[in-house]
Structure 1
Amino acid sequence: MSGRNRDGTGVLERLVLILEAFESTSGAQSLTELVAATGLSKATLYRMLAGLVDAGLLARDADSRYTLGIRLWEIAQNAGRPLRDAVRPFLQDMFSLVGETTHLAVREGDEVLYIERIYGTRRVPRASRVGGRLPLHATAVGKAILAFEEDWVREAYLDRERMERATPHTIVDRDALAAELQRVRRTGYATTREEVRVGSSSIAVPVFQLDHVVAAIGIVVNPEQSDTMVRFVPALQGTARRIAKVTARAPWESLLQPSHPTPRG
């Protein structure tokens, strides 16, 4: 597989299109569905899928539907592994203190990317997973990062034409969000109350390196605990300081995206 296809895409671009087609779903997809998702011709896509299945990067079931392969999962486990291994003991310690789902996220463009998570046993709707993304403005970790980002990053995000309203509680008004971020800067922590999933609230604090925010650590609770979740702030801030210390020489830049937040109409 080499050269460029009749649609003008090279092998690498086609490979990325195929893998990205699985990003928003955990289920198997048919050839027809993948043609629609990638825009590639059926013949080109079929050849590439066969090669990816042979390499173990994709798997094909008895109904000729495709899923991500175990080999791809094995390779992906090494992404950011030194950093994830460094922070996991502290997240585990935090979880043992609070007994609630605990996670660490970084900014990836105009979204938060969850890089590690310890799941609790309470029945709280899961908004995301390790490797998942959510809008900055709808999550506590996202607000904690955005509030302490450089001014131009924050202003670019606030100037977006439209913000996704994940639930009726999501703050999508520019002035209201700006005021919320000012509160976060003043208090040092961010909260959400069913803003990304109904039935789920959260609280988070930023993690700094050399006075620059690089991540945020947060916990998820039931809405019934929303009024008392501020009690977790000292433990969150203590854990954030420990993570900052142990990762002082960690490759945060390999996980951070310094790009301008993408405007969305």
Structure 2
Amino acid sequence: MAPEPAGGVQSLRRAFDLLERLADAGGEASLSELAATTGLPLPTIHRLIRTLVALGYVRQNSNRRYTLGSRLIRLGETASRQFGRWARPLLAELVDRVGETVNLAVLDGDEVVYVAQAPSRHSVRMFTEVGRRVLPHGTGVGKAMLAQLPRDEARALLERTGLPASTPNTITDAAELLASLDLVVEQGYALDEGEQEVGVRCVAVPLRDAPALAAVSVSGPDSRLTKEAVTRMLPDVLRIAERLSTEATRA
């Protein structure tokens, strides 16, 4: 668990961390599994979980394991609609132009969160679940957002998260990744060359004037999303990123 921020409410932060850990575990975990992932004592976890169960945000199954509760559905759907209200029409417009799946992501703490998507119409296409959290170093959107941070902040984030490899193509050396961010700034976009999933290429552009760090990406099989195709579609991605940035300030 990350250090407690100044002025934070520890029990509240721990409760939300338990919800995040349940989500990371696929929505279900035992108390001992939660203790292993959070580092919290079992009595503390049990007290917090009982409160979350009473509120309906966590449910205990007959096998005594715990799952995310139904009250979270309304919160998630409301948050999704809030992002989708202004983002989805522009994401759909970009899909019409480039023919591949388009995602919008934000940097939440040390993680990338996918907040909206417009899928490709191809039968073989990329799909990233809205709400999915990943580390930024192995994704196009993550690198696009890291490039917008001061280098000492980006370095500190990478020290906290590490650079685990999702594929053999993932950059796992912090110095190499930090050096690559200068190129992202220079060219205005980031690439994921099979670093999150083998056989998938992604091009991502940051939303430069948005209230929070965010990026839009186009991803697809590298057999279709060739480097030449990326070059052709880049003006459309840049244009939509600029419009998304404008809309984000109004949302």
User: What is the TM-score with the length of structure 2 in the denominator?
Assistant: 0.78
Return the alpha-carbon distance in structure 1 between the equivalents of residues 54 and 65 of structure 2.
15
Indicate the residue corresponding to 1:144 in structure 2.
144
Indicate the residue corresponding to 1:232 in structure 2.
233
Which stretch shifts more, 213-222 or 53-62?
A: 53-62
- 3-state SS in 2 of match to 1:22: helix
Runs of 4+ with deviation above 6 angstroms: 158-161
Indicate the residue corresponding to 1:222 in structure 2.
221
Deviations 1:155-194 (A, max 9, x none): 5457779522221111233453244222222222111111
Return the alpha-carbon distance in structure 2 between the equivalents of residues 58 and 241 of structure 1.
39
Indicate the residue corresponding to 2:3 in structure 1.
none
- Quote the offset at 1:123 in angstroms: 3.9
- 3-state SS in 2 of match to 1:246: helix
More helix by share: 2
Structure 1 gaps of 5+ residues are 1-8, 251-265
Return the alpha-carbon distance in structure 2 between the equivalents of residues 32 and 162 of structure 1.
25
Return the alpha-carbon distance in structure 2 between the equivalents of residues 166 and 22 of structure 1.
21
Return the alpha-carbon distance in structure 1 between the equivalents of residues 158 and 45 of structure 2.
39
Q: Is the 8 A contact 2:126 2:220 kept in 1?
A: no
Alignment map for 1:93-132 (pairs within 5 Å): 93-120=93-120, 122-124=123-125, 126=127, 128-132=128-132
- 3-state SS in 1 of match to 2:112: strand
Deviations 1:5-53 (A, max 9, x none): xxxx9653552343233131224323443454453436x6556545533
Indicate the residue corresponding to 1:5 in structure 2.
none
Q: Is the 8 A contact 1:114 1:133 kept in 2?
A: yes
- Quote the offset at 1:102 in angstroms: 0.9
- Quote the offset at 1:74 in angstroms: 0.9
- 3-state SS in 1 of match to 2:72: helix
Structure 2 gaps of 5+ residues are 1-8
- 3-state SS in 1 of match to 2:26: coil
Indicate the residue corresponding to 1:209 in structure 2.
209
Indicate the residue corresponding to 1:186 in structure 2.
186
User: What is the TM-score with the length of structure 1 in the denominator?
Assistant: 0.74
- 3-state SS in 2 of match to 1:94: helix
Work out the number of aligned pairs and report it: 239
Q: Is the 8 A contact 2:106 2:212 kept in 1?
A: no
- 3-state SS in 2 of match to 1:167: coil
Return the alpha-carbon distance in structure 2 between the equivalents of residues 80 and 152 of structure 1.
32
- 3-state SS in 2 of match to 1:78: helix
- 3-state SS in 2 of match to 1:176: helix
Alignment map for 1:63-102 (pairs within 5 Å): 63-79=63-79, 81-102=81-102
Return the alpha-carbon distance in structure 2 between the equivalents of residues 130 and 221 of structure 1.
17
Indicate the residue corresponding to 1:247 in structure 2.
248
Return the alpha-carbon distance in structure 1 between the equivalents of residues 105 and 27 of structure 2.
25
Specify whether residues 109 and 55 from structure 1 end up closer, same or farther in structure 2 by C-alpha distance, changes over 3 A only.
closer
Return the alpha-carbon distance in structure 1 between the equivalents of residues 185 and 163 of structure 2.
21
- 3-state SS in 2 of match to 1:16: helix
Q: Is the 8 A contact 1:206 1:213 kept in 2?
A: no
Specify whether residues 185 and 45 from structure 1 end up closer, same or farther in structure 2 by C-alpha distance, changes over 3 A only.
closer
Return the alpha-carbon distance in structure 2 between the equivalents of residues 231 and 109 of structure 1.
33
Q: Which protein, 1 or 2, shows the higher relative CO under an 8 Å CA cutoff with sep ≥ 6?
A: 1
Return the alpha-carbon distance in structure 2 between the equivalents of residues 114 and 49 of structure 1.
27
Q: Is the 8 A contact 1:124 1:200 kept in 2?
A: no
Specify whether residues 32 and 246 from structure 1 end up closer, same or farther in structure 2 by C-alpha distance, changes over 3 A only.
closer
- Quote the offset at 1:99 in angstroms: 2.9
